[in-house]
């Protein structure tokens, strides 16, 4: 079916599902005019050109529109847990590694004794704190460079409790990509558990 840019007159019919031996209508509907799908009252556009639901279009693999980037300084969204933080003088955005006792402490790439980074601090101070395991964090004081290839990559830094876009390169230093820059003040945090140690 060719893509219909704007169906002015949807004609919804329910799709059927099995309930024992009977076929019953479901809450999933399709438009017989354009092929759009609807779940309850929410329309989902699916075609060979696009997939979207409301204001969340995915036009192709390179065109995912981020709708809920944190909008204020030092806010996060994603997989967030409560963990015991033993040391964090740098505050929100500090990379953390897991100590042998199960507590988290500020990481650095100077040696593999204080890495890999597994989380970012999203609370200040120590004790029982929120940490980001995977997701998006905005800190207004950051000044990242965005771009293709390695330009937007962010690494664990050799300076304790900080991140960098400069690849560590000295002997015994750890090269661990932890995410990439979505904007000058926003990181998509997805730490790699595969990292290199210079020899």
pLDDT digits (tens, 9 = 90+) for 70-92: 555 667 888 999 999 999 999 99
Mean pLDDT of the chain: 82
- What is the rounded CA–CA span in Å between residue 85 and residue 102? 9
Judged against a pLDDT cut of 50, whether residue 67 lies above it is answered with: no
Closest CA to 73 of 138, 144, 137: 138
User: For 147-193, what is each residue's pLDDT tens digit?
Assistant: 887 889 999 999 999 999 999 999 999 999 999 999 999 999 999 98
Asked whether 85 and 96 are in contact (CB, 8 A), the reply is yes
Judged against a pLDDT cut of 60, whether residue 123 lies above it is answered with: yes
In sequence order, the 6+-apart residues with CB closer than 8 A to the CB of 115 are: 97, 107, 108, 109, 156, 174, 176, 195
In sequence order, the 6+-apart residues with CB closer than 8 A to the CB of 137 are: 70, 75, 76, 78, 92, 93, 120, 122, 186, 187, 189
């Amino acid at each position: 079916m060719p893509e219909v840019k704007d169906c002015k007159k949807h004609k919804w019919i329910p799709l059927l599902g099995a309930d024992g031996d009977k076929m019953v209508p479901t809450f999933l509907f399709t438009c017989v005019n354009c092929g759009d799908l609807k779940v309850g009252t929410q329309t989902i556009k699916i075609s060979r050109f696009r997939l979207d639901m409301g204001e969340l279009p995915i036009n192709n693999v390179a065109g995912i529109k981020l709708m809920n980037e944190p909008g204020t300084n030092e806010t996060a969204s994603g997989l967030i847990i409560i963990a015991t933080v033993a040391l964090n003088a740098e505050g929100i955005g500090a990379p953390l590694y897991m100590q042998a006792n199960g507590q988290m402490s500020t990481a650095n790439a100077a040696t593999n004794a204080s890495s890999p980074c597994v989380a970012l601090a999203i609370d200040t101070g120590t004790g029982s704190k929120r940490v980001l395991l995977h997701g998006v964090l905005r800190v207004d004081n950051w000044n990242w460079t965005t771009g293709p290839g390695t330009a937007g990559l962010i690494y664990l830094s050799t300076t304790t409790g900080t991140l960098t876009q400069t690849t560590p390169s000295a002997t015994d230093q750890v090269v661990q990509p932890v995410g990439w820059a979505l904007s000058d003040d926003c990181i998509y945090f997805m730490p790699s558990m595969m990292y290199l140690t210079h020899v």
